[in-house]
Every structure is written in structure tokens, then in C-alpha cells.
Amino acid sequence: MNKYSITEFIKNTEQEDKGEGFFELETPRLLEVNLDGLVWAKAGSMVAYHGRIKFEREGILEHGIGAMFKKALTGEGATLMKANGQGKLYLADSGKKIIILYLQNEAIYVNGNDLLAFEPSINHNIKLMRKVAGMMAGGLFNVRCEGTGMIAITTHYEPLTLRVTPGKPVITDPNATVAWSGNLQPEFQTDISLKTFIGRGSGESIQMRFEGDGFVIIQPYEEVYMQTQS
């Protein structure tokens, strides 16, 4: 265990401007937003800020009637907030590792639980995974982010990116799947034999199957979501 004087500790851990722009990784698990205007962030992810910043939950009619029904079905996990103003904003999510991606007129799907923040230039749209409704409450939705700008996603531990190529599909556990390229549409399949081995409930036998040309980001961790109430 390291021992520091207070002066040494402050020197080793204090905030430092790295000049990286709108999004900066202060630590691998803490995102600094140099705010001058608006940023979208996961509700509840603010850990500190200074300056004049106003927080507002995403309105239920923010994206029209269709989005309202999606939000009602997907629950709190998909809830976003807007931070508006000038200052420095610090975001984190349960100590998860943060990755900053710069989209250049591109699209990516992110598991709704793993999207931490994104610039207002990015269009976002909540997508339901209807085929797993009633099986995995927390894994029911993902967010399609599209455009040019930065997004910040989170993973438990170090992520791994798997290439998907024609004729070589990639199958993943939904609870370990963080994001995938915008041109891929996963299919859901069940594996009865796998369920027999694992024995941890029906959710364990559901798999995501990616076919085509793109990538899938996974994490070495299965996020366990609350089951829906019937």
C-alpha cells in the first residue's frame, strides 16, 4: 500500500488539463467534459463539476411520441440527462473503464447501460431488442449513435473488439456485449444445451449472433440485470 503525505497525494491525483479538448480522460475511469454549451450524459453519472452548469433529464417527448413509448418500455436504464452551461463536468459510472470514440459520419450501437456521454452533434435513437423482451430487462435496448463527434462508452475491465467478416459470424453473450458497428443487425438465438450447463436462469441461454462485415466490442464481465416482473 502506498503512503503519501497530503501534499504528495494531491500532487499525484490532482486534476490536470491535458489539452485534449471537449472530452478528456482524467483517469481511466473518470471523464472530464470541458463544457461550453451542451452535452448528453447518462443520468446519475455526474460525480463533480465547477462552473455554471444546469442539469435536466431527457424529456419524455424529447424525440416524439414513438420515443416516448420506447422509453416507457425500456425503463430507467436508458435515461439520459442534458448538462448545459460553461465549466468542467466530471462523469463516471460504477468505476467502469471509459473509452472515448470519435465518430466521423459513422454509426455505432451501444448497449444502453454502457453509453456514458456524447456530443450534441451526435444523433441518438433508442432501439428495442424485441426478441428478448421479458427475458433480460436490462438488455432490452441499445442506443444508435450516428454522426460526427465524440462519444464515451464504458466497460467492465479491458474491452476486446472482435471482427465480423462474411461467412464467419460472431456469437456473444448479451450481458458481455458493449457495442457493435452501425451496419450490423444482431439476431437472437437460444442454446438449450448451454442452459443445462450454466443453470443460472433462462437469460444465460440467449446469444447474440452477428453476421456481415463489421465489429463487436465485448467485455470480460457479464452484467446481470434485474428480470422483468410478469
The domain that holds 195 is classified in CATH as: 3.60.160.10
142 falls within a domain: yes
Q: Which residue's entry shows cell 440467449?
A: 206
Please name the residues in contact with 219: beta carbons below 8 A apart, sequence gap of 6 or more. Answer: 155, 156, 157, 158, 159, 160, 176, 178
4 falls within a domain: no
Question: pTM here?
Answer: 0.84
pLDDT at residue 126, rounded to an integer: 84
Residues of the chain below pLDDT 70:
1-2, 20, 59-78, 130-140, 192-204, 225-230
155 falls within a domain: yes
Cα–Cα distance measured from residue 76 to residue 118, given in angstroms and rounded to the nearest whole number: 18
pLDDT at residue 203, rounded to an integer: 44
Cα-based distances in Å from 147 to 102, 122, 124, 153, 177: 10, 5, 9, 16, 22
116 falls within a domain: yes
pLDDT at residue 12, rounded to an integer: 83
Pairing type for strands 122-128 and 141-155 reads: antiparallel
Is residue 204 within 8 Å of residue 163, measured between CB atoms? no
Residue 83 three-state SS: strand
pLDDT at residue 226, rounded to an integer: 46
Residue 7: how many CB atoms within 10 A of its CB? Answer: 8
Cα-based distances in Å from 73 to 31, 113, 134: 29, 15, 11
Is residue 82 within 8 Å of residue 39, measured between CB atoms? yes
Q: What are the φ/ψ torsions at residue 192 (nearest 5 degrees)?
A: -65, -40
43 falls within a domain: yes
Structural domain harbouring 204: 20-218
Q: Which residue's entry shows cell 453519472?
A: 45
228 falls within a domain: no
Q: Which residue's entry shows cell 414513438?
A: 66
40 falls within a domain: yes
Cα-based distances in Å from 210 to 14, 97, 173: 43, 24, 11
Specify the number of domains making up the chain. 1
11 falls within a domain: no
